[in-house]
């Protein structure tokens, strides 16, 4: 009687097969993050500009 064969997981930690695939995937992720930040950052800076400054300039 033979034990049933099980599908084995790969022993690697990365999902990419080559260094070039990994570099391309990481580059795509960075580009997408850049697009998101370019859309969010101007709005965020405007909102933060409305926060009053709690410092007292005469106390220095």
pLDDT digits over 13-38, tens only? 888 889 999 999 999 999 999 999 99
- 16 within 8 A of 25, measured Cβ to Cβ: yes
Give me the domain span that covers residue 27: 17-49
Q: Provide the residue count of the chain.
A: 60
* Residue 7 resides in a domain: no
State pTM to two decimals: 0.56
The first and second tokens of residue 18, run together, are 């080559």
Our count of domains for the chain comes to 1
* Residue 2 resides in a domain: no
* Residue 27 resides in a domain: yes
* Residue 56 resides in a domain: no
* Residue 28 resides in a domain: yes
* Residue 9 resides in a domain: no
> Mean pLDDT of all residues in the chain?
88
């Amino acid at each position: 009687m033979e034990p049933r064969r099980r599908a084995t997981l790969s022993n690697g930690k990365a999902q990419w097969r080559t260094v070039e695939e990994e570099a391309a995937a990481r580059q795509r992720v960075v580009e997408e993050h850049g697009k998101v930040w370019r859309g969010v950052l101007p709005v965020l800076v405007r909102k933060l500009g409305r926060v009053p400054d709690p410092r007292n300039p005469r106390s220095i």
